[in-house]
Amino acid sequence: MKKLIVVLLRAIFKPWKNGQWFEKEKTSDLWTKAFFGLLLLAVALALTSIIQAASGNFPAAPVFLPFSLENYFVWQAVFIIPWLLASWLTLSLLLRLIFVSGRRQRVPLNFKQLSAGLALSFYPFLFWLWLSHLLTAIFYSLGISQKEWVDLMSEPGWIQFIYIFLLFLALFSGLISSILTMAKIAPNGKVRAGFLGAGLSIVFDFLVLFFLR
């Protein structure tokens, strides 16, 4: 567990070293560490979803899935873990196909290595997003209603600032982390890899934010 926490903290707070660490650890049990790190973040989001479900409130933002508003947080708690893991594995498979088709990649990495690097690059986005999610869950658990939360978010103040700052930090850090990680994994084409990392980050962010409320 201690090693897992170290992996998480290093990837979250030092994302510029993800590529260096990936290169050093890619022949070890990196995939296992990356998987359980992603699973831990998904469980954290599920727990805050449970808190929101227990509060009796419903999502303040529009929802796009056919779940009732009254039970949306319940379904979110149930499906957020498989949703995150499925999104990660799908993008990992896409990344593997791109690398295999690239003629300039001299030594194509296997699926587990690529998916491990991709998981590391997603940690910052998921962590800071979870903090914003936790902020909502805390206020809901204190008895604030959904209407009061919307009003609070609509008025300039330190709560609104913290919430928006955490969302911005999640998106920005996730983007930078993915770009730097992909650039290290594909050193023969750093510009192309950087755009690839940015694209993967945007798609993953969209998939998560499409479901998570």
How confident is the model over 134-143, as pLDDT tens digits? 999 998 888 8
User: Is pLDDT above 70 for 85?
Assistant: yes
Q: What is the pLDDT of residue 168?
A: 96
Structure-derived torsion over alpha carbons of residues 158, 47, 34, 101, reported in degrees to the nearest 10 = -90
Give the model's pLDDT for residue 28.
Answer: 62
Least confident of 19-28, 90-99, 113-122: 19-28
**Which residues neighbour 15 within 8 Å (Cβ) at sequence distance 6 or greater?**
121, 123, 124, 173, 176, 177, 180, 181
Distance separating alpha carbons of residues 98 and 16, to the nearest angstrom? 23
Task: Work out the pLDDT band at 33, boundaries 50, 70, 90.
Answer: confident
Q: Please tell me the predicted confidence (pLDDT) of residue 106.
A: 52
pLDDT value of position 148: 84
Query: Which residue has better confidence, 165 or 28?
Result: 165
Alpha-carbon span 150 to 207, nearest angstrom: 23
Is the per-residue pLDDT at 182 higher than 90? Answer: no
